[in-house]
Amino acid sequence: MTAGPLAGLRILEVGHILAGPFATMLLADLGAEVTKVEPPGGDLSRQVGDAYFASINRGKRSVCLDLTSAAGQRRLGELAAEAHALLVNLKPSVIRRLGLTYDSLRRHNERLVCVAVTGYGLDGGDDPAFDYVIQAATGVAALTGDPEGPPTLPGYSSADNSAALTAALGLLAQIVSGRGGQVEVALRDVMLAQLNYRAAAYLNDGVEPSRLPHGAHSYYVPAQLFPTAQGYLALFITHDGFWKTFAAEAGIEGFATMAERAARRDAVLDAVTRVLSGDTAAGWEARLRPLGVPAAAVRTLPEALAATPEMVVRAGGFRLVGSPVKVAGHQPEYGPPPPLGSLVVDGD
């Protein structure tokens, strides 16, 4: 096995809870050396629970610094001088007050990449920017749920996780450039960007997005959840070839083109709903997948984990979901989450 593709990359993290720590953990899985700079009380996620903390902090080191003190700032500068990047997710005023920007740290290292993950940008103010607030503010909640019901939220932290992935991308892009500098990732901007085709339809054609029953896609028909004889089936027919294969298996005639299916949405959905009631979700999945038709029974998380045992890894004493990035010849070590202040900085 070879070293990870990011071996030799030294990253500092001043983060808490989810977005920042998840971003740097993904980089650690790929071989980067991540040092978690924590305040004397530790990252707030330590208070949530050991498994929670481990799920976004495996494989890191921890150094405990009071960045409000002269000694803490001196140690931060020493760490920054030897690092390739610093990633921080705090309020903009706190980021500036603690000197966690490129302008503050460049005197220690001109090539340092500083990534700030905030709610609305470094100049966007300190308004609270928790995941659910961002989903509400950007239209995500309004697009989620059945049209006759209230707006709702996904069952996981989609804004924080998406911002983490974006921050990791921005950090690596600036490192590849060979220049130091400031990178900003705002949770609001990330979620608006993820509404790409929905936003484009409104901005260019005036099509205001709306919720459709069973999470139906705005363009493709049929592409949504369907009730079956037992359980729900996700069916995602995006082009005429998929429809032809599905219709032959299901015994449905007509609706041969994408345009016709879109124009006759209700008729298509009625026909599909009737035929899917004749078998279970698991049965339809078993029939359709070998034919190449995009379909899956709706599973619970325990069922999904049981179906993908290769994604469950051990990190110290914890069982966690492994890295989604597979690099040929590299097997992540998945080290345990660090005890608070486990790394001793010279002079401590």
Q: Tell me, yes or no, if 266 is annotated catalytic.
A: no
The amino acid occupying position 87 is L
Alpha helix ranges (H) inside 150-195: 158-177, 187-194
Rounded to the nearest 10°, the torsion over CA 34, 39, 43, 44 is -160
Structure tokens of 219?
């363009």
Structure tokens of 264?
């006759």
Rounded to the nearest 10°, the torsion over CA 294, 297, 300, 302 is -80
Judge if the upstream peptide bond of residue 222 is cis by omega within 30 degrees of 0: yes
Of 29, 43, 131, 160, the catalytic one is 160
The amino acid occupying position 90 is L
> Rounded to whole angstroms, how far apart are CA atoms 122 and 189?
12
The amino acid occupying position 59 is G
Neighbours of 247 (CB within 10 A): 20
> Rounded to whole angstroms, how far apart are CA atoms 68 and 37?
13
CA distances from 138 to 43, 86, 144, 194, 329 (A): 28, 28, 12, 10, 40
Residues carrying an active site annotation: 160
